[in-house]
Structure 1
Amino acid sequence: MKTLLNIIWLLLSGIWLFLGYMLAALIMFALIITIPWGIAAARIGVYALWPFGKTVVDKPSAGVGSLLGNVVWVVLAGWWIALGHLVSGIALCITIIGIPFGIANFKLIPVALMPLGKQIVDMP
């Protein structure tokens, strides 16, 4: 079932969100000093491409550095990626079939705003 959900997700919004994250990652890699944010953007982008069957949890080792890094991330790229999730979620919720995918988009907004200090794991 999760494979079917992921395929539908990929077609409806996953590819566009993935491309947004990868664009952010490329910009962060190009700026060199922001490479840690680029790595986080690429990691979350892959998760946004194929999210069903996985979940995001807090890293136990995350500390103040992650918090400060997330503040910089929100200013540089997080707000427009979160906006993409919001717009995509609203558009998907217009149809009955798209409601579960819209809700999945809304669940990705906190991750889009604060990707540092997070870890993607398989659901049991």
Structure 2
Amino acid sequence: MRIGELSERTGTPRRMLRYYEEQGLLVPGRASNGYRDYAQGCVDRVLQIRGLLDSGLPTRVIKQVLPCIDDPAAIHISGATAETIATLERERDSMAHRIRCLLRSHEAIVGYLEAVRRDQQPSAGVPAVRYRRADSVTEAA
């Protein structure tokens, strides 16, 4: 696929895709006319790169981590400085925290939806619905 299609499919500006290429994070093929030619797998790769950038990892660390995502046996240990290791440990801990928060939010939404659905069922004289929020139990009137 051409750069425009990859841009549309990932929501990533073309200039950013070129930057990923300059940083060695994305390697497109070249068509006979010299245009970039991206494989289907580049969609997932770009989304992974964006996620890692959004989480605060610098591109130099992402470049080291990406091969591990594609093939865990391809771990590149050379050049892993104490700073890189500390950055990855912080990111791992931050991800674990966000996962816990997302799970609590998910549970709260599930509980809310269950309560709303019970409340919408036609029945007379039903007592107040209790539903569980992530941090407390709340009574609905």
Q: Fold-level match, TM-score > 0.5?
A: no
Q: Which has the higher contact order (CA 8 A, sep 6+)?
A: 1
Question: Which structure features the higher share of helix residues?
Answer: 1
| TM-score (normalised: structure 2) | 0.28
